[in-house]
Amino acid sequence: MILAVMAALLVAMVLALVRAFVGPGLYNRLLAINMFGTKTVLFVVVAGFLFGRAEFLDIGILYALVNFVAVVAVLRLTHYDELVTEPSGDERR
C-alpha cells in the first residue's frame, strides 16, 4: 500500500512539473512549483516511513520550511517587480 502511495505521489509530481513548464501564466507556474515542493515533502516522509528512518521527517519539515520561504520570496519579488525596474528619463528627478 505504501508503494502505491509513493507511485501516486510521483505521478502527481510529474503532473505538477508539466504544469510548471506549460502553465498559462506566472502565478499558475508558481502554484505548480509550490505543489511540487509539497508533494516532495510528502514523498520524503512516506519514504522515511517505508524505510523505517525517522530522520526523514526532520528533512521533510526542513524542506517544507524552505519551500514556503522560497515561494513567498518569489511572490514578493514578482509583486514588486515594477519597483525594481529603472525609471525612464522623464520620470527621474
Q: What's the longest Cα–Cα distance across the chain?
A: 66
pLDDT at residue number 27: 86
pLDDT, one tens digit per residue, over 9-33 is 999 999 999 999 998 888 899 999 9
CB 55 within 8 A of CB 48: yes
Residue-level length of the chain: 93
Rounded to two decimals, the pTM is 0.77
Task: Please give the average per-residue pLDDT across 57-83, as a whole number.
Answer: 87
- Domain positions in the chain: 2-82
What the block records as the C-alpha cell of 28 is 499558475
Using DSSP's 3-state secondary structure scheme, residue 23 falls into coil
What the block records as the C-alpha cell of 77 is 519579488
pLDDT at residue number 67: 94
